[in-house]
Amino acid sequence: MSSITNRKYIFVSSSTPWLFSTSTSHPFYLIQNNLLMKKFATLFPTLFLLVFATAQDYIIQTVGATAFDPNELTIFVGETVEWQNTGGFHNVNGTQAAYPDNPESFGNDVGSGWTFQFTFNMPGIYNYHCDPHQNNGMTGTITVLEAGGGASALIIAGLADPQPNVNGSGAASGAKTLELYAIEDINDLSIYGIGVANNGGGSDGEEFTFPAVAVPAGSCIMLTDSNNLSNFQTFFGFDPDFLVPSGASAAVGFNGDDALELYMNGQVVDVFGDINTDGSGTSWEYTDGWVYRVNATGPDGSTFVEANWTYSGVDALQDDVFTMNEQFAAPFPNCSYSTLGTSDIIANNDAVNLPIDVASDIDILANDMYPNGITTLTVNTPPTGGTAQANGTTNITYTPNPAFCGSDQFTYEICDQFSCAQAVVSITIDCPTVYPEYPIGLVTADADGNGLGDSLQVNCSLTGVVYGVDLRGGDGLSFTIIGSDNEGINVFNFNEVDGYQVQEGDEITVQGEIIDFNGLTEILAETILMNSSGNTLIDPTDVTSLGEDTESQLVRMTGMTFVDAAQWLGDGSSFNVEITDGTNTFVMRIDNDVDAADMPVPNVPAGSTMNIIGIGGQYDQDEPFTEGYQLLPRYMADITVVTDVATKERSLLDHISLFPNPADDYLYIASDIVPDEIRLSNALGQILQRIPAAHENRIDITKLPAGLYSLTFIKGDALATATFVKK
């Protein structure tokens, strides 16, 4: 049998565990308020007998009508468990009649307000339940280990989940490391093994067993996956003690939200993390960071004792540049565990991001080690960009100077009754983003002709008037703003911005970053400022083709007909319709958020054409982004059927007029025909009212908010839309 005498990794292929006994101290446990505390006590024989003759070693409480808490426990022969019924009618049934494999029977009668104690004198696994609530899952398990030989001589000392050079190509990324510590001599390490409980899914059992080697007391044992040897060597600067073979890599394949169990002779004797809880977002998460055992604590059995650990915090070992542990502000404190409560105090560096112009409390002690408590906390070297004030021995308040942003740091010192330690706090305050005011046409220009704006990823502030409706629907925003020179841009965000509700005619200022989506230049809105409403819209520009110069502009194409009118779906969905001037073909896009999406196809009789107003768009998924141009009508009123003189009388608008316009209380309709239906819509294209066939010559608009509205008149297969303004 070999032994570990210096740091040289051992590659493990297989092993067979065997039992041995090393423990010389009696562990005393108490479960109270969901915490398990373990104390090693040295007592005179008379006091020892008194304590264990009158007190329980464990307390298990009932929780409602569904559970024992805790419902799983690992103890030693000769220890006593007390069940406390704090409410309801329950009992404990661990009889061999219910569980024939139990080494011995235990239990009590159903009742309320009781306590029940049982001393376990035989090793083994005991199952039990509450008779009235067994079907509700009110069950439990107690594992009893051999006395004298069951106390673990090995503990979990720490876990590291480093991700240095996370965006680079360095070999140091992902050197997941487990550290164990031998608190006593171990004659045969093969009685121990480890297993990872992933994502709160409970125990996966023992996934790796150590080889048959001897380990002296005080040994620090570090292990990693065999595939990570070079990563480990680069990160720590030395070799690991054990390499877990790739076939068993799950044993060290933990992430920063996973728990880890240490086994001895097949039983859990120490644990980090709650095996039944996904650690993401919990106080014990260590993603891209580390955790380390507090000196003179452990082993903790199968119950996770959160207070027995020091936490680096998430991302403490993540960086784009650093590749070695010692380069980080809060490095993994490998091989620093001590069984003595009077070990040295350790202060670790901190790195924090703080808001501008706000005083912030920094928990500088979160990754420090102070097994003997703290007597003083002082700021030794003050910051230059603000002030740092110690709050007793709890934390430090950093107050930045007005408008200060950038990097700052200070040094603090913590002391106990034996010694002192210092560390540096590095502070980063992100400077606020500056949004210079630019004309819209400047940031949408395409000088190199690749179909993309020249100002991508530029932060700026743009002002324009809103045209059309919100094409995002639901959550988020997607609409167009256009300046007085008809230069426009699409405004986009996946989420709502400043509560803004899209309304055509609003003048707004948008602050954000210039981006593109399939060739369409956009501004990713961070802030939307409302300037005014009800602004006059510009006249559309007449164009004969679509391209970069029509993108997000209000344009009009005349003399158009459908290539295939059947492409018009009219079912409320989004669809494309091809239109032509007789020579060239273009794409008209009907978005499901405009009123035209659920209207019948416009009737274009032979000899007639359409004048179509819309906003120029683009959808091109391939470079260069110089194709896929579209015309997007804002509403049905943007599509007008134009007939020749011989058929002009068929135009509904020749028979209809609205007055007064703008209107206040009532809108009057003068018409010499009876429409089949009249639809009243708002500027968003939402139909507010349907008026059936009638000689209706007056519409009550007193309850309508001020704004732009439209009336669509339908007669047979013809329709026409007229707009009016409610004052």
Helix (H, G, I), strand (E, B) or coil at 653: helix
Whether 208 and 288 map to the same domain: the answer is: yes
Please give the pLDDT value at position 695: 57
Tokens read off for 628: 């896929």
Euclidean distance between CA atoms 98 and 252, whole angstroms = 39
The band of 721, judged by pLDDT with boundaries at 50, 70 and 90, is: confident
Residue 22 inside a domain? The answer is no
Whether 624 and 668 map to the same domain: the answer is: no
Whether 456 and 485 map to the same domain: the answer is: yes
Ranges 11-25, 484-498, 545-559: which has the least confidence:
11-25
The band of 182, judged by pLDDT with boundaries at 50, 70 and 90, is: very high
Euclidean distance between CA atoms 546 and 553, whole angstroms = 10
Please give the pLDDT value at position 150: 52
Question: Span 128-149, mean pLDDT?
Answer: 83
Residue 688 sits in a domain whose CATH number is 2.60.40.3080
Whether 546 and 521 map to the same domain: the answer is: no
State the chain's mean pLDDT as an integer. 85
User: pLDDT, tens digit, for every residue of 337-361?
Assistant: 988 755 678 899 999 999 999 999 9
Residue 635 sits in a domain whose CATH number is 2.40.50.140
Residue 21 inside a domain? The answer is no
Whether 171 and 273 map to the same domain: the answer is: yes
Strands of the sheet with 154-160, listed across from one edge:
10-11, 242-244, 220-225, 177-182, 154-160, 290-293, 309-311
Whether 79 and 217 map to the same domain: the answer is: no
| pLDDT at residue 593 tops 80 | yes
Whether 638 and 655 map to the same domain: the answer is: no
Residue 186 sits in a domain whose CATH number is 2.60.40
The band of 117, judged by pLDDT with boundaries at 50, 70 and 90, is: very high
Give whole-number Cα distances, 556 to 341, 489, 523, 549, 563, in Å.
83, 17, 24, 13, 18
Euclidean distance between CA atoms 693 and 679, whole angstroms = 11
User: pLDDT, tens digit, for every residue of 189-239?
Assistant: 999 999 999 889 998 889 889 999 999 999 999 999 888 888 899 899 999
Whether 272 and 234 map to the same domain: the answer is: yes
User: pLDDT, tens digit, for every residue of 53-92?
Assistant: 334 667 888 877 688 888 888 777 778 899 998 888 899 9
Residue 392 sits in a domain whose CATH number is 2.60.40.10
User: pLDDT, tens digit, for every residue of 235-291?
Assistant: 999 999 988 886 555 678 888 999 999 999 989 999 999 999 999 999 999 999 999
Residue 335 inside a domain? The answer is no
Ranges 38-47, 166-175, 562-571, 631-640: which has the least confidence:
38-47
Residue 177 has, within 13 A of its CA and on its CB side, a CA count of 35
Whether 548 and 570 map to the same domain: the answer is: yes
Last residue of a domain, one of 646, 675, 698: 646
Residue 334 inside a domain? The answer is no
Helix (H, G, I), strand (E, B) or coil at 66: coil
| pLDDT at residue 27 tops 60 | no
Whether 310 and 177 map to the same domain: the answer is: yes
Tokens read off for 220: 């620090």
Last residue of a domain, one of 628, 646, 664: 646
Burial bucket for residue 82 (CB in 10 Å: 0-12, 13-18, 19+): middle
Ranges 15-29, 189-203, 536-550: which has the least confidence:
15-29
Containing structural domain, residue 209: 7-16+151-327
Residue 434 inside a domain? The answer is no
Please give the pLDDT value at position 449: 81
Please give the pLDDT value at position 344: 75
Residue 358 inside a domain? The answer is yes
Return the CA Rg of the chain.
38
The band of 140, judged by pLDDT with boundaries at 50, 70 and 90, is: very high
Last residue of a domain, one of 646, 681, 714: 646
Please give the pLDDT value at position 639: 96
Residue 573 inside a domain? The answer is yes
Give whole-number Cα distances, 627 to 442, 520, 549, 618, 621, in Å.
22, 11, 12, 7, 9
Whether 265 and 411 map to the same domain: the answer is: no
Answering whether pTM is above 0.85, one says no
Whether 216 and 78 map to the same domain: the answer is: no
The band of 30, judged by pLDDT with boundaries at 50, 70 and 90, is: very low
The band of 52, judged by pLDDT with boundaries at 50, 70 and 90, is: very low
Q: Are 123 and 55 in contact (CB under 8 A)?
A: no
Total count of domains within the chain: 6
Residue 575 inside a domain? The answer is yes
| pLDDT at residue 447 tops 90 | no
